[in-house]
Structure 1
Amino acid sequence: MALGDAFGSQFFVPANRHTLSSRLLPPAPWQWTDDTEMACFVYRVLADHGTIDQDELATSFATRHDFDRGYGPATNRMLRLVREGGDWRALSAGLFDGKGSWGNGAAMRVAPLGAWFAGDLAEVVHQATLSAQVTHTHPEAVAGAVAVAVATAVAVGDPGLSAGRFLDRISEYVPASAVRDGIAEARQLLTISDPTLAARMLGNGRQVTAHDTVPFTLWVAARERHDFEAAMWTTAAAGGDVDTTCAIVGGIVAASESNHLPPQWRGRCEPLPGWAGTPPLDSEPA
């Protein structure tokens, strides 16, 4: 997931945009963003508690929050207020005139959770919901987090599924929402191969909402689950919120045991933070 995030973030640099057509790797180092930092918080809470402790996750988000990683303004403000003693429950629920955020932030960070609970999809749904609610209470944001978490779990547990059945399996667990409707549309678009056309129909994260982000990432993941590099180039070609879409797709695709992260890519990515307790990105897979 971090590798996808860091790769995608390079295409916000104007000098690197020409590499999309030529598929030349952007120069190192590739820096990851808030997507990866928040995913590391999720992983650390799971490693320490075996479950999503919402209070612990909120505290982790707030105390280790790095403003320069590209967080959105609403999240920056909320985490600052939590750090100053605010109640995360009230702050999260109160965002956007009490509707809660329907942004893609809960979906972008959840892949490690899906892999963690991959043997129990009902538990994946429950834990993904808990993880989302700390910052995103709107039902669309929760549905987006559930969809990505379930997709990652299915990639772990059922790597041989066809693209269509992969999306069908995810939809079984996503609550009624625009996100689920988007997944159904993605299912209908599996016969096309042009990511820009798919993104025109499904969104590419440009609106930074769950329902404008998650369906397209699942379309890519369904088609390219067995080729990490192809999945990344396909995702980036659609533009939009490229670091987040590549992070989501990267987390899902890399979860399949048949996929190994390309060494040349791993060597270009910024190391993960030491406190996360994860293996280094440039290490050989177990």
Structure 2
Amino acid sequence: MALIGAILGDICGSQYEFRRPHNLDWKNCELFTDKCKYTDDTVLSIATGMWLLDETNKEPWEFYLEYGKKYSGVGYGEMFEDWLYDDGNHVNESFGNGCAMRVSPIMMYFNGFSDNPDAFKFYIDIARYTCEKTHSHSESYKGASVVTSCSFMARWGRSKEEIYKYALRFYPSSQYTYGVDRPLEDYRKNYVWSATVQDSVPVAIRCFLESEDYESFLRNVLSLPCDTDTIAAIGGGIAEDFYKKTLDNSNELLERYLPKELLDDVSKIYNEMP
């Protein structure tokens, strides 16, 4: 049920996206404060879920366009905003991390599929499909696919070691500045804020790999000088799929931070998924 994990990650991380204190006590700080809010990560993740439920054969980008315009001013990237207010009339060749933070509902929708290679490939194809109009770049296709694949493995009981070895095939530090094989302790010293998918996905996965539960995953994200809301949204879905839960007060938190219409959409997604 990865959507709540992504949404709570977004809300928690929003308070430090651009203003994380250098000396933040990330091990003990309050995770949800009056400085938290939902952002584009939440809006577009919900849009993905509503597209999956749609029976009118609309494209995913049509839902991104609809929800993006309906919920304006929630932190969209510059390229996405240009696309949004051009009514989606051009293809964005973006490799921003937005392509990977909105895929959590995919595993929810296809939860009834069996654990087999054909299903695995199908998930990847769907993840790539969500990128085509807004993030038409090879790194975006890779990022969305790897996040979805890691959720698939987490949902079906694969170990962290198996998930790690899979992610390492795509994000080794020999090819990427922030490979999934580098420990968080390195990133706490050397990470530089980035909104690209290739600098975000392996770090989000690493935050999950070094966690013990959903809360410790969030704290791992807050330990880094990173795009906290998006990295927490990306890894939050994987963490929820692996640990099979988020926080004990998740419903109260959703009610606290989401407007009624989005909260209703979340309920619809959870109640109507196959």
2:32 maps to 1:22 = no
1:211 corresponding residue in structure 2: 198
**Deviation of residue 156 (structure 1)?**
1.2
2:266 corresponding residue in structure 1: 278
1:121-270 matches, within 5 Å, as 121-158=120-157, 161-170=158-167, 181-182=175-176, 185-186=179-180, 188-189=181-182, 192=183, 195-198=184-187, 206-224=193-211, 226-256=212-242, 258-263=244-249, 266-267=252-253, 269-270=256-257
Report the aligned-residue RMSD. 3.3
Deviations 1:218-244 (A, max 9, x none): 1122232x5000000011101210111
Mapped to 1, the partners of 2:54 and 2:209 lie a distance apart of 32
**Deviation of residue 181 (structure 1)?**
4.8
Identity across matched positions, percent = 21
Q: 1:31 aligns with which of 33, 37, 43?
A: 37
Residue 27 of structure 1 aligns with an amino acid whose one-letter code is T
Mapped to 2, the partners of 1:153 and 1:183 lie a distance apart of 26
Residue 163 of structure 1 aligns with an amino acid whose one-letter code is K
1:9 corresponding residue in structure 2: 14
2:110 corresponding residue in structure 1: 117
On the 8 A contact 1:179/1:210 being kept in 2, the answer is no
Q: Give SS of 1:103's match.
A: coil
**Deviation of residue 140 (structure 1)?**
0.4
2:59 corresponding residue in structure 1: 53
Instruction: Report 1 or 2 for greater relative contact order, CA contacts < 8 Å, sequence distance ≥ 6.
Output: 2
**Deviation of residue 260 (structure 1)?**
3.7
Deviations 1:117-156 (A, max 9, x none): 3532111111000101120001001111111111122221
Mapped to 1, the partners of 2:40 and 2:47 lie a distance apart of 11
**Deviation of residue 49 (structure 1)?**
3.5
Mapped to 2, the partners of 1:198 and 1:256 lie a distance apart of 23
Q: 1:105 aligns with which of 90, 98, 103?
A: 98
Distance 1:26 1:259, change over 3 A: closer
Q: 2:84 aligns with which of 79, 84, 108?
A: 79
Query: TM-score, structure 2 length as denominator?
Result: 0.79
On the 8 A contact 1:217/1:235 being kept in 2, the answer is yes
Deviations 1:175-225 (A, max 9, x none): xx8899559942x33xx4xx2414667x56x2211111001111122232x
Deviations 1:156-190 (A, max 9, x none): 112xx332211234567x6xx8899559942x33x
Mapped to 2, the partners of 1:262 and 1:244 lie a distance apart of 22
Query: TM-score, structure 1 length as denominator?
Result: 0.76
2:72 corresponding residue in structure 1: 67
Residue 217 of structure 2 aligns with an amino acid whose one-letter code is A
Structure 1 stretches lacking a partner, 5+ long: 281-286
On the 8 A contact 1:114/1:148 being kept in 2, the answer is no
Distance 1:179 1:103, change over 3 A: farther
Mapped to 2, the partners of 1:121 and 1:50 lie a distance apart of 25
Structure 2 stretches lacking a partner, 5+ long: 1-5, 114-118, 269-274
**Deviation of residue 28 (structure 1)?**
3.5
